[in-house]
Amino acid sequence: MLEILKAILFGIVEGVTEWLPISSTGHMILLDEFINLNVSDEFYKLFEVVIQLGAILAVVVVYFKTICPIGFNKTKTETKKTLSLWGKILVACVPAAIIGVLLDDWLDEHLYNGIVVAIMLILYGILFIIVESKNIGKSSTKELEDITYKQALGIGAFQLLSLIPGTSRSGATIIGGLILGLKRNIAAQFTFFLAIPVMFGASLLKLLKYIMNVGFVFNSGEIALLGIGSLVAFIVSILIIRFLMAYIRKHDFKVFGYYRIILGIIVLLYFVVH
């Protein structure tokens, strides 16, 4: 029962932090520092990825009409726009797909620690405040269909920054979108959609590594942890996505910058003292 409660907590943290620009990986590393699941290291790495799939499924459900090119009485023009959007999403995936596959093991070994997380939380918190305060980008792109392939590739380049834990995938791509001229809500939505192929790809990579090292063998307890963690992440993600889109209609992202800085300082002090 204790491990189930831990899985629920991990699912809640994943669901909240995957979409807010405050670093899901960073928070998961910190949570694992204080609350350990009683599982092997290999299974925990898989657990983190699988519950991310629960979070990603929330995007698919919330925005299914937007991202599905057929059905919903869509006209040929609307279908063409949806397919064009997917083209831009896939273009944005290219940089992280190439570099991520090449450096995945190295990043896991050298950068997944509290000090790196704390530094990145602080640095990108400052960057969020600067970008919003200076109104960099001028918000010239106000609709999803107006995003250009050049902007998509640029956002994909910003996504590379998120390979460093503590940066935040959504944070890096939202900052990239703002700098490249996307309106806040458009930058956030494109970030949500970009997560679908990126996180499915990352999950597949982790799953293949797990199968190669351990085999496709799970006991009933591990299956329960995966299922409960994913379900909680899915439900919480739906709530957070709707909250964030409502929030940024009237507010900017500076509050997340301040949160990152405060949390980063606390984490840095903790790991330095210990």
Whole-prediction pTM value? 0.88
Token couple for 109: 């070994």
Distance CA 17, CA 240 (A): 9
Distance CA 256, CA 12 (A): 18
Closest of 185, 56, 183, 174 to residue 124, by C-alpha = 174
Give me the number of domains the chain comprises: 1
pLDDT at 138 over 70: no
Q: Identify whether the C-beta of residue 146 lies closer than 8 Å to the C-beta of residue 190.
A: no
pLDDT for the residue numbered 173: 94
Distance CA 117, CA 25 (A): 9
pLDDT tens by residue, 65-101: 999 998 888 999 999 999 999 999 999 999 887 887 6
- Comparing 9-18, 143-152, 158-167, 247-256, the range with the smallest average pLDDT is 158-167
pLDDT at 249 over 70: yes
User: Considering the chain, what is the average pLDDT of its residues?
Assistant: 88
Print the domain residue range for 186: 2-273
pLDDT at 136 over 70: no
User: Tokens 């889109």, residue?
Assistant: 245
pLDDT tens by residue, 107-132: 777 777 778 888 999 999 999 999 88
pLDDT at 242 over 80: yes
141 strand-pairing partners: 182
φ/ψ region of 251 (left if φ > 0, alpha if ψ in -120 to 50, else beta) reads: beta
pLDDT for the residue numbered 113: 78
pLDDT for the residue numbered 265: 92
Label residue 50 by pLDDT band (50, 70, 90).
confident
φ/ψ region of 136 (left if φ > 0, alpha if ψ in -120 to 50, else beta) reads: beta
Label residue 137 by pLDDT band (50, 70, 90).
low
Q: Identify whether the C-beta of residue 182 lies closer than 8 Å to the C-beta of residue 147.
A: yes
pLDDT tens by residue, 177-188: 999 999 999 999
Percentage of the residues of the chain whose pLDDT score is greater than 90: 52
pLDDT for the residue numbered 122: 94
Residue type, 145: E
